[in-house]
A and B are shown apart, each in its own frame.
Chain A
């Protein structure tokens, strides 16, 4: 049944697919060249690994956002959710449960994944069962998660108390395997898994079908609400994975943790070529988008000719230009 929608979608847009998928990488290449021109240190291994590692949070959350947006939804709560999940995780580790070593960290990680999944599930069920626009639902939960974080922190910060645990957990952000930082490996693993689910499974095809036309999908026998709810669940899990990488960096959650991450994640998804109206999802494009965002910030600091007051304007302009470059590439492909 579902074959109808999934079969027709790729054939219709096949000619443009390749270039559209390549476009964000072309924009990334242009930015890297720009960075190299601006400052010789840009291409140093240290700087590049720093920047790619830093993009991990948005890239990982972006994978989840790709699912939500491809299915025609939106999740504004991811930044607050990240702060909330991080708070719960750190409070658990401070609570002195487990053996105070590897066991505690592992349990805390599982707990974080569970809390993230529940938060995502709550978003999904409220949207589908409550039949409320996801924009409103997740705007609401954004406020709820943020307030809960501030409440748990009593307005301050929640820091990991045990220095032993911190030392044990630190390599998850700062460590590397064969020279490749762990967070980059996590990006690749999550994106690989995301791409597999989105492109190779029936569920992935359903997500795209629901995003392109909900009614058609419903008539094709797709359980639309179930598919949508699961996309929010995936988003919640991705947020939790991002938190697993975030917490070991500074070992603390504060009221500013995850601030504006939702906008960055959505921007990364759109730069990556996923349509904001749904129906198309590009996981690797999203990863590329997250890296583009981080590299723009990096170039701003490495360049010496932009006033610190104007950085926001230049960043905005670069994002728009990158999108224009992509669009012109896609148009040329259509000829």
Chain B
């Protein structure tokens, strides 16, 4: 009780300090993120807009510019345009590490506070703050759950796209199931698309008479996988594990759906975490520099409600 009170007082202090200073401090924060080209990035855009509204309401002098870009090259251009407008901080989820390291270095050279989200730059000395999910753990947590549930059996895997994130998740999964009784029958790419995952799953079902579980790394793809299983009326598949934390899948977990018993979190909300931390650092001069790696939390029926955002597009 006492601790809670102190916490609240501290919060109130921070709050009032922020308000008091807000009048005379006009600051601009640029947020540069990928365009909503699939569910997860859609979630990122939603969470960034939501955080913008909340933060601008808290700090009247604060201006947040959210800019989405469809690819690495156009994001590099966007970064230049944002910098010329004069910004105090940049929160960015780079399309890819290699292409954007130098453009972000140039932003940094102008004395801007740089927060990097999700995808690490090739040169980590550029960033002041790094906020990310834990990709290897997305695979590891799924693999370990599968191991504990099945002990032995046949597993098929649907991967995303051949990029670093996918490799890290796959490695985490492979390490977790290595040496267990689980046999990975096959891995194929489903391009993080429902339609492609549906196709790959149909083909798996035609190829293998007995499959015990499916790991498809992403909740969007799980939708296609479930539909393919339903169509084939196959009873051998005990469960499917996706990942990320799409609201439909979180709801299935909460409802106790046996086909989707758990989900592994890789929340698009990390962009909002990064924005909040950046703004706290700017206004309240609290120490925020460093690396924040969010857990790949296992969402179960018991805790699913905490992770359910019915209004989010993802």
State the A residues within 8 Å of B (CB): 39, 41-42, 44, 46-47, 50, 54, 150, 153-157, 159, 174, 249-250, 252, 254-257, 259, 297-298, 301-302, 304, 308-309, 311
Q: Kindly state whether residue B194 has any CB partner on chain A within 8 Å.
A: yes
Contact across chains for B189 and A311 when beta carbons are under 8 A apart: yes
A-side contacts of B313, CB under 8 Å: 153-157
A-B contacts besides A155-B41, A157-B220, 15 pairs, CB < 8 Å: A50-B203, A150-B35, A150-B36, A153-B42, A154-B36, A250-B195, A250-B198, A252-B194, A254-B38, A254-B194, A257-B195, A297-B203, A301-B186, A302-B203, A302-B207
Contact across chains for A301 and B45 when beta carbons are under 8 A apart: no
Q: Kindly state whether residue B199 has any CB partner on chain A within 8 Å.
A: yes
A223 to chain B, nearest CB (A): 39
- Which of A44, A157, A249 is the one whose CB lies under 8 Å from B206? A44
B-side contacts of A50, CB under 8 Å: 202-203, 206
- Which chain B residues numbered 227 to 241 have a C-beta less than 8 Å away from chain A? 227, 231-232
Give CA–CA (A157, B231) in the complex, Å. Answer: 22
B228 to chain A: closest residue by CB: A50
A119 to chain B, nearest CB (A): 20
B-side contacts of A39, CB under 8 Å: 207
- Which of A156, A174, A249 is the one whose CB lies under 8 Å from B39? A156
B241 to chain A, nearest CB (A): 19
Contact across chains for B224 and A255 when beta carbons are under 8 A apart: no
Q: When A and B form their complex, which 3 residue pairs have the shortest distance between CB atoms, in order from nearest?
A: A156-B313, A155-B42, A155-B36
A-side contacts of B35, CB under 8 Å: 150
- Which of A47, A157, A249, A308 is the one whose CB lies under 8 Å from B189? A308
Contact across chains for A156 and B203 when beta carbons are under 8 A apart: no
Contact across chains for A41 and B207 when beta carbons are under 8 A apart: yes
Majority SS of interface residues in chain B?
helix
A-side contacts of B248, CB under 8 Å: 159
Q: Kindly state whether residue B154 has any CB partner on chain A within 8 Å.
A: no
Q: Kindly state whether residue B266 has any CB partner on chain A within 8 Å.
A: no
- Which of A153, A249, A256 is the one whose CB lies under 8 Å from B192? A256
Q: Kindly state whether residue B159 has any CB partner on chain A within 8 Å.
A: yes
Give CA–CA (A98, B198) in the complex, Å. Answer: 31
A203 to chain B, nearest CB (A): 34
Give CA–CA (A304, B186) in the complex, Å. Answer: 8
B-side contacts of A54, CB under 8 Å: 199, 202
Q: Kindly state whether residue B31 has any CB partner on chain A within 8 Å.
A: no
A294 to chain B: closest residue by CB: B199
- Which of A174, A250, A309 is the one whose CB lies under 8 Å from B224? A250
B37 to chain A: closest residue by CB: A255
Contact across chains for A46 and B312 when beta carbons are under 8 A apart: no
Give CA–CA (A319, B236) in the complex, Å. Answer: 36
Q: Kindly state whether residue B173 has any CB partner on chain A within 8 Å.
A: no
Q: Kindly state whether residue B92 has any CB partner on chain A within 8 Å.
A: no
Proximity bits, B50-84, A CB within 8 Å = 1, else 0 = 00000000000000000000000000000000000
B234 to chain A, nearest CB (A): 11
Give CA–CA (A159, B247) in the complex, Å. Answer: 12
Q: Kindly state whether residue B147 has any CB partner on chain A within 8 Å.
A: no
B158 to chain A, nearest CB (A): 10
Contact across chains for B194 and A301 when beta carbons are under 8 A apart: no
Q: Could you write out 7 A-B pairs with CB less than 8 Å apart?
A: A39-B207, A155-B313, A157-B313, A250-B223, A256-B220, A301-B199, A311-B188
B172 to chain A, nearest CB (A): 17
- Which chain B residues numbered 158 to 200 have a C-beta less than 8 Å away from chain A? 159, 162, 186-189, 191-195, 198-200
Give CA–CA (A302, B39) in the complex, Å. Answer: 28
A-side contacts of B203, CB under 8 Å: 47, 50, 297-298, 301-302
